[in-house]
Structure 1
């Protein structure tokens, strides 16, 4: 468990640093934040999306935290749902900022792979949250429905996390191309402005956060123990059978 807490602490630190870097990037190089239809309004988009990604990663890890293993499963489900709802709220605000800016400036919406992936994951993530709420939190949901949907819910939880990191990295690249007026691979890296270095560091740290979260989900011995299952049968369960 000491190793788990080291990795978990590292993931928390990486997530916090990523959010701070996004704030610094948009404050120091992009003019700050506003909600007036200008480029400052768009700056809310990367901040909300990175914050969504970090909060979503931590919501997935709720069931992995050893100090929660003695807690009621229903309490953990509520915490998991609330954190994901907070992440979804940030995602919606981020989309509103992007669409609001584009509409104000008469820029087409959904014209790049970044926008397609990002918009799709927000819509599907909303559906995932709703189905999870109906299946696992409502007392009227039958046990057979919970059992049938559980593996699907877990699979798409990891899948959406992967889609989100893809949207974040492609968004950083797209933003740099626009603001740096077409910087490309033909330009020596040492000649790039400090803003590009900062954005590239952000992308690397986001990837490291993603890897730390997926590693904690992958390790079978860090899974929440099932009090109704023997140790031998637990060892034969599929990976990620529990959040």
Structure 2
């Protein structure tokens, strides 16, 4: 019971941090960067950080689906479908965010994919896309061999955490890169080094994202918070056929 209470405390904290991340990035984009549009201007680019941060928060919650105690009595197949659907939403947000960034860059004749932020971020989207596809093939197709599910389960878990780390790295570097570009521009009246209000807000956003990711990683890695497997003695969780009643 004590362990369950601690889980819900950390889970509530992660929900609060995730909500604050979305609020902060929206306020930053709307109040300091001019709002939103889809016209090739900076207002189109503003969709990029909002979509990416929202996608990161959704991704964190998607990988917690199997950790929530109130879902342990649910069908494993339903949890797999919820997990896959949430991650598909994450992928959709990532695609929209990339379109916003590339569209703005192309319209303003700015090169694409030249910074470390863009390299890490684009790699994270590619890895995430492959992770979703391979996860679908391995865990949601009844025809997938049992030995393949077993072999891929740990790999899927490992790369899930790697993608979380990559998205946080891309987000933090992107926030820093944007602040340097806009606050250190020749026409700027408040350079980054003087920490104007916009810099404070964006820096706090970065700290919130880091704290959010740490709470997610803690809940995922803590063994006693893993979903219990009543069939572990006879058949491992990874090798149980998907479309059966005990799922």
TM-score with structure 1 setting the length: 0.91
Per-residue Cα deviation, 1:137-191 (whole angstroms, up to 9, x for no partner): 01111111111111111100000000000000000000000010169xxx99883
Residue of structure 1 aligned with 2:101, choices 76, 98, 103? 98
Consecutive unaligned residues in structure 1, runs of 5 or more: 234-243
Give the root-mean-square deviation of aligned CA atoms: 1.9
Runs of 4+ in 1 over 6 A off after TM superposition: 187-190
Residue of structure 2 aligned with 1:200, choices 199, 203, 217? 203
2:233 counterpart of 1:216: no
- For residues 61-100 of structure 1, the aligned pairs below 5 Å read 61-100=64-103
The answer to whether the 8 Å contact 2:179/2:192 transfers is: no
Structure 1 residue aligned with 2:28: 25
- For residues 9-158 of structure 1, the aligned pairs below 5 Å read 9-158=12-161
Q: Between Structure 1 and Structure 2, how many residues are aligned?
A: 229
- For residues 160-171 of structure 1, the aligned pairs below 5 Å read 160-171=163-174
Consecutive unaligned residues in structure 2, runs of 5 or more: 237-247
Structure 2 residue aligned with 1:236: none
For 1:22 and 1:196, the matched residues in 2 are separated by 12
Residue of structure 2 aligned with 1:6, choices 9, 14, 17? 9
For 2:31 and 2:192, the matched residues in 1 are separated by 21
TM-score with structure 2 setting the length: 0.89
